[in-house]
Amino acid sequence: MDLLELARGPALQWAISIFIAGVLWRLLGVFLLRSKKDLSEPRNPAAWKGLRLIALRSWPRREFLEGTAFGVVMGYAFHVGLLVSLFFFAPHVLFFADVARGLIGTDLRGLVGFGWPTLPNGIITLLAAISVAALLAVLVHRFVNPVKRLISNFDDYFSWFVTFAPLVTGMAAFAHLAGWPYERLLAFHLLSVELLLVWFPFG
């Protein structure tokens, strides 16, 4: 068994199993938390007002914007780029279909009843590069900011690494980085994604 077969086979199965079990364990812990009964009367039962408030609170108030603008902008840049490149890159969509077929015996179209479009490779590459740049900027900011540097620990840096690695290895595999066999680059990309899956519930 070579590295790519390991990444596509046993390593992927173990990573998905640990990810699912870990997320369910964390959710169970949240649901079992004891909380005091809410005795206050709801001010407005309209659900859309709650969703509107969530949307409004997703951006900091003007009074705090000066101190938090960097983190907010970098956070949105990273997450939007990551999510779009994850779910709208054609090879990823095919990969999800293969994984779904292996887990439940049908592809994504059979699972949800419809497929979704993919974006051109140029747009995906640009968004992935923006995500990489945002992650690098956040890391540098963590180093140069004395407060963030003081409170940062292993979890912060390792979580950054396991998030950064799939983006970089994916871009390297897509670009067919000179001197490296494509199969090895793809194996590194898959293994980095599997490391992220394993770390996700615990980091």
pLDDT of amino acid 43: 65
Task: Summarize pLDDT for 84-109 with one digit per residue, the tens.
Answer: 999 999 888 888 877 777 666 666 56
Task: Summarize pLDDT for 20-78 with one digit per residue, the tens.
Answer: 999 999 999 888 877 777 766 666 666 666 777 777 777 777 777 777 788 888 989 99
Task: Summarize pLDDT for 121-160 with one digit per residue, the tens.
Answer: 999 999 999 999 999 999 999 999 898 889 999 999 999 9
pTM of the model: 0.82
Burial of 139 (0-12, 13-18, 19+ CB in 10 A): middle
**Residues 82, 68: Cα–Cα separation, whole Å:** 21
- Residue 32 carries which side chain, given as an amino acid letter? L
